[in-house]
A = this chain, B = another copy of it.
Amino acid sequence: MLSDGHNEGVNLYISFRLRRGQPEVKLMKSQRYQRGFKKLEEVNKKGIDDLIQLMDDLAPDLATYVIEFAYGDVYTRPGLDPRQRELCIISAITALGGKEQQLKDHIQAAVNVGCTKAEIVETLIMMAVYAGFPAAINAIKSAKEVLCV
């Protein structure tokens, strides 16, 4: 009997019994969680600690979904390398506007996965064309806090 239960996302267990009556086997974390956590560690170790701490009092499941879904399911998909992913994420967050912390986290992540400072800046400058100058200027301001320390 296999049971990932409703709370898989919450408890981070996949538990199953080979037969009714036999002892239950628990895998401490789902493979999606493990895969996502490993990827997020590669990409932005500091970001993951901040996220888990931020969510911990109030919404630990949201941190779990970030790890399982955003990183374990989506980010680890083949087809785009992490450098391309981070430049796209930075573009989207700049276009959305008003999400400084996430923008800074992903600018750091972009550096961590090997994007050059020039590529990041180039991406942000290009956003002036698509999302307007105020969005691009604010993004450069966030980038300075990460890249010019």
Contacts and interface: CB of A to CB of B under 8 A. Distances in A.
Number of copies of this kind of chain in the complex:
6
Nearest to A103: B134
| Interface of A, helix, strand, loop or mixed by DSSP | helix
Nearest to A71: B129
A91 to B, nearest CB: 4
Interface in A116-149: 117-119, 121-138, 140-141, 143-144, 147-148
A53 to B, nearest CB: 11
Contacts of A148: 57-58
Contacts of A27: 2
Nearest to A147: B58
A31 interface: yes
Given A57-B144, A69-B69, A101-B138, 5 more contacts: A4-B14, A66-B133, A89-B126, A102-B137, A129-B132
A138 B117 CA distance: 26
Contact of A70 (B16, B93, B122, B133): B133
Given A8-B31, A132-B132, A74 B2 contact: no
Given A4-B32, A30-B4, A97-B99, A79 B122 contact: yes
